[in-house]
Structure 1
């Protein structure tokens, strides 16, 4: 196999994984697929699992399409795909039986067993330490694949026992084509969302959808209100409310998924799942609300940056390419250095919100500081 499907635009991943299947090569016992969200890590993990599980003990031919279909459905007996069951955290219970104990069982059909751990950086210390011995001394037939967009949050001992496979952000034109195919966005809006995602294809996709449009509108309103020096209450509450709605939706999703799992379990296990789901849902609400608010503030900061770019004639560097007319209006109202000072105010507020949960006070203070930065009294 010269090129593993999904690695065509990922040179590092293509080189590392092709070597594993070359004559005389062999796959590593553990890989760390690292790269931004939406860069294709899951796709390549499935392709790698398909390739590995298409090898049999006796060398007989295997219907590769059948293997790929079962891998895609998650129904191949030699593939275990692990996701955090908690909101934002992978616990010992997620990996103990599914991975640590399961590696002792020999493959059912293929020559190997493949274990894929999504969001591996979400492992808490107890889970990471529980996995460590398996990474140190796995059986010869085991291949572990850890997926992470934040590898720096993994324990150093975990990272050092995996072969790193780097995934780069998708090229802009490719991401635009994908967004145009898969979302309601037209080509110009899709390009704006691709740029506003700053390499995060999943965020770009979210921005191209209905929820993302609401978030973009709220962030733009905040920035334009500040640039215009308009009197009255700054519209940060609209942005905060949009983030809150995203949080509620994430919490509801956790509860629905837990209910579906609980239906198939004995009474005692069902009660435990239902009890944990309430705490998990609360964490999901907070996590998604915080992430959405941070994303909205980043969009507002990028609006100020784009205003500065337009003011100096650098239209090609603009992120909000579908809002050039509005950016030109705002650029006529201020000087580049003032717009960039507003970017600093927004970035400082983002950092403060990560350290301190007094959201309303900080957003209100940000509005006051933005007026000062932009020369409005």
Structure 2
């Protein structure tokens, strides 16, 4: 399936695009702005398919010849702009794949739809080349730009496009999707939804990632017993954490949610809103042994550690200091 009804959340974007389809007031260019894996590409695919659907409704029928071509990735009038360099979309890419063909009328559909994923990777020269098409587009052309950083685009590009900003999807909807569509167990779905922070694609990736499960297990086993560990045990634990260096933000997020749970339980004694409710005995011990100020110090230390790692401070040094701060405040 690939229709607007399959998009989780993003009601404002769905309403805007469906309204454009029903009234015929389709802009010549749209920017879909949202973080990586948030569903930008899926929304663009659905809209492109609906634009070309022979039924001309607000949902692609998925059965006509045009929809079947779109679903198979072989629609001649839905053009995905590609680029050989992984981190750059060059001026030649835009000239050859967009500017060079916009004057040619659609092959079999009312419109010609160009989709540019990761459009923030366009060089300034590439953006200026695209601008020439955006300034005087043929009436049948629609350009869809998908970006994870809208500020990377030139103001002149932004001024000629309708900008649609993705919103975080409520955790309840993300959890429901994981449980019903992917058959993820309830507890695991809740943890993944909390970590994804409204990003359905990230939640899906976490739910199916063996690495994430391993990281969670390692982090929790350390946090449960860190109060009683000797210095040499902490140093050994940090060496173990080094295995997850490439996923360190996930590791630190797990730690942050653990202490968020501890703080919540300390304040309310209510387990219903805890993410790690299955670890309630260990959380109760953490809450009892830590003061409110201590937990706040730990949360701040986790945030500081992230910033230091982003600034390329020595990994082991940052993690040792963090673990000692956690122990002192636990």
- Within 2, Cα distance between the matches of 1:28 and 1:117? 16
- Within 1, Cα distance between the matches of 2:62 and 2:264? 55
Partner residue, 1:241: 243
Pairwise CA distance, 1:145: 0.9
Other structure's SS at 2:198 match: coil
Partner residue, 2:12: 12
Other structure's SS at 2:12 match: helix
Other structure's SS at 1:31 match: strand
Contact 1:192 1:320 in 2 (8 A): yes
**CA 1:297–1:9 in structure 2 vs 1: closer, same or farther (change >3 Å)?**
closer
- Within 1, Cα distance between the matches of 2:296 and 2:84? 42
Contact 2:21 2:51 in 1 (8 A): no
**CA 1:361–1:130 in structure 2 vs 1: closer, same or farther (change >3 Å)?**
farther
Pairwise CA distance, 1:165: 2.0
Contact 2:127 2:157 in 1 (8 A): yes
1:146 counterpart = 2:148: no
Partner residue, 1:217: 217
Pairwise CA distance, 1:193: 1.0
Pairwise CA distance, 1:301: 1.8
Contact 1:227 1:334 in 2 (8 A): no
Contact 2:8 2:169 in 1 (8 A): no
- Within 1, Cα distance between the matches of 2:191 and 2:65? 39
Partner residue, 1:54: 53
**CA 1:67–1:326 in structure 2 vs 1: closer, same or farther (change >3 Å)?**
farther
**CA 1:101–1:237 in structure 2 vs 1: closer, same or farther (change >3 Å)?**
farther
Unaligned runs of 5+ residues in structure 2 are 56-60
Moved more, 348-357 or 213-222: 213-222
Pairwise CA distance, 1:300: 1.6
- Within 2, Cα distance between the matches of 1:79 and 1:337? 57
Other structure's SS at 1:105 match: coil
Partner residue, 2:104: 105
1:21 counterpart = 2:39: no
TM-score by length of 1: 0.74
Map 1:61-140; keep pairs closer than 5 Å.
Answer: 64-82=63-81, 85-140=84-139
**CA deviations over 1:315-354 (Å, ceiling 9, x no partner):** 4443334433332232222122211211111111111211
Pairwise CA distance, 1:183: 4.5
- Within 1, Cα distance between the matches of 2:297 and 2:195? 20
Pairwise CA distance, 1:356: 1.8
Other structure's SS at 2:206 match: helix
Contact 1:34 1:164 in 2 (8 A): yes
Contact 1:84 1:118 in 2 (8 A): no
Partner residue, 1:330: 286
**CA deviations over 1:68-93 (Å, ceiling 9, x no partner):** 23212221011112356544544445
Contact 1:55 1:111 in 2 (8 A): no
- Within 2, Cα distance between the matches of 1:229 and 1:36? 39
Partner residue, 2:58: none
Q: Aligned residues, how many?
A: 319
**CA 1:8–1:206 in structure 2 vs 1: closer, same or farther (change >3 Å)?**
closer
Partner residue, 1:271: none
- Within 2, Cα distance between the matches of 1:82 and 1:329? 55
Pairwise CA distance, 1:222: 4.5
**CA 1:86–1:341 in structure 2 vs 1: closer, same or farther (change >3 Å)?**
farther
Contact 2:234 2:323 in 1 (8 A): no
TM-score by length of 2: 0.83
- Within 1, Cα distance between the matches of 2:37 and 2:148? 9
Other structure's SS at 1:116 match: strand
- Within 2, Cα distance between the matches of 1:203 and 1:230? 36
- Within 2, Cα distance between the matches of 1:351 and 1:87? 26
- Within 1, Cα distance between the matches of 2:216 and 2:306? 16
Partner residue, 2:266: 311
- Within 2, Cα distance between the matches of 1:327 and 1:179? 25
Unaligned runs of 5+ residues in structure 1 are 57-61, 244-288
Contact 1:53 1:110 in 2 (8 A): yes
